[in-house]
């Protein structure tokens, strides 16, 4: 607690005399838990679940780090329909939006990349990172809690941290972690899925009262797969990340669909929008993964200065607007690494 | 396993015909666990203990990551006398030296800084980092295991990973982790010590059969404190770091002693050597912390162009060769920051 910060509580007083001070209340400086920009279900669910876990560490005095302040979940953007469905199903309210962390205490979840972090992270006090991605470019002046497992979802890491630090998992938190795992692993079909994700999801489903995990996964994914009400720009940017590939700016979006048929008529419209985005954003390449969950593959829509990188990366020549990549479902594991090599 | 790498086994044959091949045996590509340059007890002990843990994960199919290869501990430099004592006491052999990891699979322990890592880390396959320092500049193209806790020692993190993944801790590994914790936390007296370090050390002491933890810590530290066989130059430089303080070159060494008495007769000799080092190295100041572990303070030997910086930094006037700083034990936390302010 910063002892220089106080709230002064006044007694209501018609004479407005200043000596009617009731109490001087110190303002606690809370810790914000924040996922990446353009949040998916894991980023929002993990912020909520991490805040719950850290508040329990504070309350019980247990845990890996000493928590002295209130912990508040936050988000950097609006929940997508899948996330909104999960929050509603488990009766959890939408966290507040925080996009600038100047002067704040912060825990990052689901990323360790400055490009995906909130503004002014360098002016914040970073307390921890809980993630399941590649190690990004965030560095710290002091030792912090950094837990990154090469598993399918931050939710999986969090479930283990509950167990290991002896914190009981309530039904709503179990439901959020389960939703995040099913979302991130595309119902265990993504190449990022590990045995640990499956085992943890089964345990969480029991706590959350979900009898049929796969059916619940499809219910979740259906919410995201309905893109009929979205503009082309919204379809592209809903889950879109920027990458620096050997100095070139590459943007990669992903849309997961139950069946590619539902988006077939809109490919030309989306492609024109990607061209616009490439110009506006100064991209070398704008790429959109149209991932077919049932067929387990991805139609890769590409607007690029150099089509040869696609052939170098995936061994398939880009001739029209797109290529089909059989078995490819994960941006993180199957699209970003080969592209990074192709750009190197 | 890289299937391109094989050993060809020949049947002994006087005629040296090449068709006497007995078997083609694939070479497993092992995983090396390596601590930082200029290794201390934590860096060498944690490499050995992590290799043991990962080999158990491989054997039992448990653990946070899937381990398919043999895991081998390594070091980047010779064990200091304290480390050698711990290895001998618990009957563990000295690991091999690996300073270049080109083409190797690697787990880093006790650091995440490129400047402290083995050569060619960018050409290695980094599989994991287990550490307790600030987050350094190591980044990865893929998700890896990264476990960093803000505690006093990597040994503390490792003990928890054994417990959490259900691997029993044998006596020798417990002894090494305990030694590392006592070394890094200066028998729990360093400002970096946490409650978790103390709790974990007590549990390890029971397994390792150490009845008196503090006495064992003193026995350990005595080994490092025995400087009778070292030249004055070696005493100064064994743990010596250069700092840039507002454009001035300042070198600060530290020697931890059980009793300053043991070095009393050699102060003049050491002081003359510090003067030489100052001239040779173009230093503004050469400083040596003679830290008394039992008295919990530091005799600060100083050769400087400007004695007033010592008074500015520590509020004590430097009149002879040295000043006594009560309660000061950490270079990182208690000497460097006030000096940096004094130079600013």
pLDDT digits (tens, 9 = 90+) for B53-73: 999 999 999 999 999 999 999
Q: Are B79 and B96 in contact (CB under 8 A)?
A: no
A337 neighbourhood in chain B, CB within 8 Å:
141-142
Per-residue pLDDT tens digits for A84-105: 999 999 999 999 999 999 999 9
So what's the pLDDT on residue B277? Answer: 97
Residue A21 has pLDDT above 70, yes or no: no
Residue A16 has pLDDT above 80, yes or no: no
The tokens of A66 are what? 């000493």
Please state, in angstroms and as integers, the Cα–Cα distance from residue A271 to each residue in A236, A241, A251, A274, A304, following that order. 9, 17, 14, 5, 11
So what's the pLDDT on residue B25? Answer: 55
Tokens 């899948």, residue? A82
So what's the pLDDT on residue A55? Answer: 98
- To test the contact with chain A by mutation, choose from B130, B135, B160 the residue with the greatest count of A C-beta atoms within 10 A, namely B135
A17 pLDDT band, cuts 50/70/90, is very low
The tokens of B279 are what? 């001239």
Per-residue pLDDT tens digits for A165-195: 999 999 999 999 999 999 999 999 998 999 9
Q: Which of B225, B280, B213, B224 is nearest to B251 (CA)?
A: B280
Residue B181 has pLDDT above 90, yes or no: yes
The stretch B191-211 carries a mean pLDDT of 96
Name the residue in chain B with its Cα closest to that of A154.
B143
Per-residue pLDDT tens digits for B19-31: 555 555 555 699 9
A26 pLDDT band, cuts 50/70/90, is low
The stretch A115-142 carries a mean pLDDT of 93
So what's the pLDDT on residue B4? Answer: 39
First to last CA, chain B: 54
So what's the pLDDT on residue A224? Answer: 80
* A143·B160 Cβ contact <8 A: no
Per-residue pLDDT tens digits for A275-316: 999 999 999 999 999 999 888 999 999 999 999 999 999 999
A159 pLDDT band, cuts 50/70/90, is very high
Residue spans of alpha helices (H) in A209-283: 213-225, 232-237, 267-281
Percent pLDDT > 70 in chain A is: 92
Check CB contact of B148 with chain A, cutoff 8 Å.
yes
Per-residue pLDDT tens digits for B124-147: 999 999 999 989 889 998 899 999
Query: Is the ipTM beyond the 0.85 threshold?
Result: no
More confident site: A176 or B222: A176
Query: Nearest CA to CA, how far is B113 from chain A (Å)?
Result: 10
Q: Which of A195, A188, A192, A190 is nearest to A213 (CA)?
A: A188
* B141·A160 Cβ contact <8 A: no
So what's the pLDDT on residue A209? Answer: 98
Q: Which residues have CB under 8 Å from B227's CB, separation 6+?
A: B234, B235, B255, B257, B262, B263, B266
Backbone phi and psi for residue B289, each to the nearest 5 degrees, phi listed first:
-85, 115
B26 pairs with which residues across the strands? B6
More confident site: A238 or B125: B125
Check CB contact of B115 with chain A, cutoff 8 Å.
no
B163 neighbourhood in chain A, CB within 8 Å:
164
Residue B7 has pLDDT above 60, yes or no: no
Per-residue pLDDT tens digits for B255-305: 989 888 889 899 999 999 999 999 999 999 999 999 998 899 999 999 999
Percent pLDDT > 90 in chain A is: 79
Query: Nearest CA to CA, how far is B22 from chain A (Å)?
Result: 38
Q: What is the Cα–Cα distance from A157 to A136, expressed in whole angstroms?
A: 18
B227 pLDDT band, cuts 50/70/90, is confident
A57 by Cβ neighbours in 10 Å (0-12 / 13-18 / 19+) ranks as buried
* A146·B141 Cβ contact <8 A: no
Please tell me whether residue A324 adopts helix, strand or coil conformation.
Answer: strand
Q: What is the Cα–Cα distance from A90 to A84, expressed in whole angstroms?
A: 10
Check CB contact of A133 with chain B, cutoff 8 Å.
yes
- To test the contact with chain B by mutation, choose from A67, A143, A344 the residue with the greatest count of B C-beta atoms within 10 A, namely A143
So what's the pLDDT on residue A2? Answer: 39
B3 pLDDT band, cuts 50/70/90, is very low
HSE value, Cβ hemisphere, 13 Å, CA-based, for A40:
28
A37 pLDDT band, cuts 50/70/90, is very high
B44 pLDDT band, cuts 50/70/90, is very high
Check CB contact of B342 with chain A, cutoff 8 Å.
no
So what's the pLDDT on residue A153? Answer: 98
A140 pLDDT band, cuts 50/70/90, is confident
Q: Are A31 and A106 in contact (CB under 8 A)?
A: yes
Our CA angle for A126, A185, A170, nearest 5°, is 65
Between A129, A133, A164, which is nearest B164 by CB? A164
């Amino acid at each position: 607690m910063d002892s220089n910060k106080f709230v002064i509580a006044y007694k209501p007083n018609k004479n407005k005399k200043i000596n009617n001070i009731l109490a001087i209340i110190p303002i606690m400086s809370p810790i914000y838990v924040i996922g990446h920009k353009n949040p998916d279900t894991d980023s929002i669910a993990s912020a909520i679940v991490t805040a719950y876990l850290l508040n329990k560490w504070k309350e019980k005095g247990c845990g890996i780090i000493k928590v002295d302040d209130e912990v508040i979940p936050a988000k950097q953007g609006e929940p997508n329909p899948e996330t909104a469905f999960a929050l509603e199903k488990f009766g959890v309210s939408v966290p507040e939006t925080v996009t600038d962390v100047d002067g704040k205490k912060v825990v990052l979840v689901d990323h360790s990349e400055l490009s995906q972090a909130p503004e002014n992270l360098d002016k914040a006090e970073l307390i921890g990172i809980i993630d399941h991605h590649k190690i990004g470019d965030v560095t710290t002046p002091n030792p912090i809690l950094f837990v990154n497992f090469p598993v399918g979802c931050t939710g999986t890491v969090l479930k283990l941290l509950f167990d290991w630090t002896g914190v009981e998992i309530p039904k709503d938190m179990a439901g959020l972690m389960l939703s995040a795992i099913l979302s991130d692993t595309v119902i265990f079909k993504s190449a990022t899925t590990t045995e640990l994700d499956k085992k943890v999801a089964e345990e969480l489903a029991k706590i959350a009262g979900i009898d049929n995990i796969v059916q619940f996964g499809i219910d979740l994914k259906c919410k995201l797969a309905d893109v009929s009400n979205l503009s082309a720009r919204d379809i592209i940017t809903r889950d879109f990340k920027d990458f620096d590939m050997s100095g070139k700016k590459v943007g990669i979006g992903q849309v997961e669909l139950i069946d590619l048929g539902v988006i077939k008529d809109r490919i030309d419209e989306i492609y024109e929008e990607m061209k616009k985005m490439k110009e506006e954003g100064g991209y070398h390449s704008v790429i959109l993964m149209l991932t077919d969950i049932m067929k387990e593959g991805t139609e890769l829509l590409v607007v690029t200065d150099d089509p040869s990188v696609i052939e170098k990366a995936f061994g398939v020549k880009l001739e029209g607007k797109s290529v089909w990549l059989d078995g490819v479902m994960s941006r993180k594991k199957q699209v970003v690494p080969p592209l990074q090599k192709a750009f190197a």
